A = this chain, B = another copy of it.
Amino acid sequence: MTKAFVTGAGGFIGSTLVDRLLAEGHQVVGYDNFSTGRMEFLAKALEHKNFRLVKADVLDPFALSEAIRGSEVVWHLSANADVRFGLEHPRKDLEQNAIATSNVLEAMRHNNVRDILFSSTGSVYGEATIFPTPEDAPFPTQTSLYATSKLAGEGLISSYCEGYGFRGVVFRFVSMLGERYTHGHVFDFVKHLLKEPTRLPVLGDGTQRKSYLYVGDCVEAMLKVQSKMPDGFDVYNLGADEYCTVRDSIGWITSLMGLYPKLEFTGGDRGWVGDNPFIFLDTKKIRAQGWNNRLTIRRGVELTVSWLLDNRDVLEA
């Protein structure tokens, strides 16, 4: 039993982790400003005696420091997850990912909390040259403000491990799928198809390869690593050992929805400026810890579509 503190508790991955931690008997303080998190994702948690919610911002050092007091393990999952529009607000990633992580670390340091687990991203590998990409891939060039700010968060954590005796783990995620999924291409496609079932605009040429992981499998991996925290700092890729193309994914989505839309590709080999054409991570390291994903990407896409169709209010939000 640990006293866990979860930032981004109202988010897709955060709320899934909160439910899982409560199910395992942990005490949980959830922290979220609900700018993108959703209170209804915490409906079940809010009924649990071991859960306490703090509605506040990670950029508020005072609220953060007060809320974190007495915790033993920090799961820092809050982030600007609006990856695609980084260029429209070039300061947002730095603030919400790098500075926010600095705030979390300072709140921990001042309250003598030493264990942190952090959600980073496979996009820190930039335009990777090795596939699947291992944790010690060649030094990458950052191509997005999002990945730059996440890598800064990683570096802050490893520096606190080196300098202040923290124990830290960084998880570099592929994209996630599953219940409570609220942004990304499956979301966009389902939303569009419900409004206009006969045609589907697709960014790029549809050949972009993507690897996904089911959110439940992701949370299992994180819990496995937390149960044996390293003495200092460690990094794990989290992903499936397979990938699909955007065209594959569209096939699974439209098949499940019983639709035959005309696909309208904008062309080019990537969706937007700074998008990685291919993120496919080497997951040997996490598998050596005894973890394996249980769901295929196809099954993850299908579960996501089913959940979206059952929760259409999310699509309207």
Measured CB to CB, the residues of A under 8 A from B are 86-87, 90-91, 94, 98-99, 102, 105-106, 109, 125-126, 135-145, 147-149, 151-152, 154-156, 158-160, 162-164, 233, 235, 273-274
Closest Cβ of chain B to A122, distance in Å, is 12
B139 pairs with A159, CB closer than 8 A: no
Considering the complex, give the chain B residue whose CB is closest to the CB of A94: B102
A103 to B109: give the CA distance in the assembly, Å. Answer: 28
A99 pairs with B94, CB closer than 8 A: yes
Other-chain residue from B87, B105, B139, B160 in contact with A139 (beta carbon distance below 8 A):
B139
Using A99-B94, A138-B139 as known contacts, say yes or no to A155 and B148 having CB atoms under 8 A apart. yes
A148 pairs with B143, CB closer than 8 A: no
A139 CB contacts on chain B under 8 angstroms: 125, 135-140
Other-chain residue from B94, B136, B145 in contact with A138 (beta carbon distance below 8 A):
B136
B90 pairs with A162, CB closer than 8 A: no
Considering the complex, give the chain B residue whose CB is closest to the CB of A138: B136
A163 pairs with B86, CB closer than 8 A: yes
A94 CB contacts on chain B under 8 angstroms: 98-99, 102, 152, 156
A99 CB contacts on chain B under 8 angstroms: 94, 99
A136 CB contacts on chain B under 8 angstroms: 138-139
A142 CB contacts on chain B under 8 angstroms: 154-156, 158-159
